[in-house]
Amino acid sequence: MMDIHQILKQLPHRYPFLLVDRVLEIDKGKRIKALKNVTINEPFFVGHFPHRPVMPGVLMLEAMAQTAALLAFDLLGQAPDDKTVYYFAGIDAARFKRPVEPGDQLIMDVTLNRMKAGVFKFSGITYVGDVIACEAELMCTMRTIA
């Protein structure tokens, strides 16, 4: 379990780009389950779409990547510092199965498949209730910046 205060210590993202509200489960080095409450106050709903608010698919992928980062940091036993950035390196097999709307609660279920030479490969599934909203394979890497 990890609350928003612990998440803020781990992830550099801030409003409106922090897309993880709570970690529900973490199996060190294997799997993580986190949630994002989707509200009508999200800034992207103003334009996506005014007549029918829908969460952009890329933001569901970003929520999975942020969840994956929390799993990676937990595995490594470290939080990123000001000289470390955690980047997306690739996305494969992304599929969007259901629109996500205000009032939904996203549950991101992310599994670490492999870690080699600072590159992490994950499988992620995002649910609303018991229904899959999004799934993808994610590749992420940590880089030191000057």
Q: What is the mean pLDDT of residues 13-28?
A: 96
Partners of 33 in the β-ladder: 25, 109
Question: Which tokens is 101 given?
Answer: 């709307």
Other Cβ atoms within 10 Å of 33 Cβ, number = 18
CB 105 within 8 A of CB 38: yes
pLDDT tier for residue 16 given thresholds of 50, 70 and 90:
very high
Q: Which residues are catalytic?
A: 48
pLDDT at 81 over 90: no
Calculate ∠ Cα 32-125-114, nearest 5°. 60
List, for residues 40-64, the tens digit of each pLDDT value.
Answer: 999 999 999 999 999 999 999 999 9
Q: How confident is the model at residue 78 (pLDDT cuts 50, 70, 90)?
A: confident
Q: Could you tell me the domains of the chain?
A: 4-144 (3.10.129.10)
Burial class, 19, CB count within 10 angstroms (exposed 0-12 / middle 13-18 / buried 19+): buried
Cβ atoms 120, 90 nearer than 8 A: no
User: What was the pLDDT predicted at 86?
Assistant: 87
The whole-chain average pLDDT of the chain stands at 95
Which is higher by pLDDT, 4 or 117? Answer: 4
| Type of residue numbered 8 | L
